[in-house]
Structure 1
Amino acid sequence: MAKAIAIIVARIIFSFIFFMAAGFKFADIGATASYIAAAGFPMATFLTWVAALFEIALALAFISGTFFTEASLLAGIYVIFLAFAFHGPSHWQQNQAEFGFFVDHFTFLAGLLFAAVHGPERWALRQTLFR
C-alpha cells in the first residue's frame, strides 16, 4: 500500500508542476514568448502556446495515468531540452545559479525515468478503460 500511495503522490506532484508551468505561460503569454525569443528561438509566441498545451497534456496524463509511461518519457526529453536551452553552459558565466537550475532538471529527469519504469500503479484511467 505504501508503494501505491507514493506513486499517487508522485503523480499529483508531476501533474501540479506541469499545470503550474502551463498556468504561468497562460498568465502572460507575451512574457514567456519574450523569454523564448531571448534564447534565440523563432516563432516564440507560437512555441509558448505549444509548450503550454503540451504541459497541460502531460499534467492530464500524469493525474489520470493515461499513457503514463509515454508521458513520462516525453516529459523527460522536454525537461532536458529545457535544461540545455534555457540553463545550459552558455548561461553559467552570467549567473552561477543557472548551473543549479540546470542540474535540477536532471533530478527531475531521474524521477520521470523512475516513473516511466514503474508505471502509474493501480489507480490509472488507462488501466480501467483499456483492459
Structure 2
Amino acid sequence: MARAIAIIVARIIFSFVFFMAAGFKFADIGATAGYITAAGFPMATFLTWIAAFFEIALALAFISGAFFTEASLLAAIYVIFLAFAFHGPSHWQQNQAEFGFFVDHFTFLAGLLFAAVHGPERWALKQTLLR
C-alpha cells in the first residue's frame, strides 16, 4: 500500500509542476516569449503556446495515468532540453545560480525515468479505453 501511495503522490507532484509551468506561460505569454527569444529561438510566441499546451498534456497524463510511460519519457526529454537551452554552461558565468537550476533538472529527470520504468501503479486510466 505504501508503494501505491508514494507513486500517486509522485504523480500528483509531476502533474502540479507541469500545470503550474503552463499556468505561468498562459498568465504572461509575452514574458515567456521574451525569455525564449533571449535564448536565441525563433517564433517565440508560437513556441510558448506549444510549450504551454504540451505541459497541460503532460500534466493530464500524469494525473490520469494514461500514456504514463510515454509521458514520462517525453517529459524527460523536454526537461533535459530546457536544462541545456535555458540553464546550460553558457549561462553559468553570468549567474552561478543557473548551475543550480541546471542540476535541478537532472534530479527531475531521475524521477521521470524512475516513473517511466515503474508505471502509474493503481488508479490509472486504462489506455485501452482511449483507443
Shared fold by TM > 0.5?
yes
The CA deviation string for residues 27-82 of structure 1, in whole angstroms up to 9 with x for no partner, is 00000000000000000000000000000000000000000000000000000000
TM, length-normalised to structure 2: 0.97
8 A contact 2:73–2:113 mirrored in 1: yes
State the distance in 1 between where 2:127 and 2:38 align: 42
State the distance in 2 between where 1:68 and 1:114 align: 12
Corresponding position of 2:52: 52
State the distance in 2 between where 1:100 and 1:87 align: 9
Corresponding position of 1:9: 9
Corresponding position of 2:127: 127
Corresponding position of 2:70: 70
TM, length-normalised to structure 1: 0.97
The CA deviation string for residues 88-124 of structure 1, in whole angstroms up to 9 with x for no partner, is 0000000000000000000000000000000000210
- C-alpha displacement at 1:130, in angstroms? 6.5
- C-alpha displacement at 1:125, in angstroms? 0.5
- C-alpha displacement at 1:127, in angstroms? 5.6
State the distance in 2 between where 1:130 and 1:71 align: 15
State the distance in 1 between where 2:17 and 2:103 align: 17
- C-alpha displacement at 1:126, in angstroms? 1.9
The structure-2 alpha-carbon separation of the partners of 1:102 and 1:64, relative to structure 1 and needing over 3 Å to count, comes to same
The CA deviation string for residues 5-24 of structure 1, in whole angstroms up to 9 with x for no partner, is 00000000000000000000
Q: Where do 5+ consecutive residues of structure 1 fail to align?
A: none
Q: Percent identity at matched positions?
A: 92
State the distance in 2 between where 1:46 and 1:92 align: 27
Corresponding position of 2:96: 96
Q: Where do 5+ consecutive residues of structure 2 fail to align?
A: none
State the distance in 2 between where 1:111 and 1:13 align: 11
1:125 aligns to what SS in structure 2?
Answer: coil
Note the aligned Cα RMSD (angstroms).
1.3
8 A contact 2:80–2:106 mirrored in 1: yes
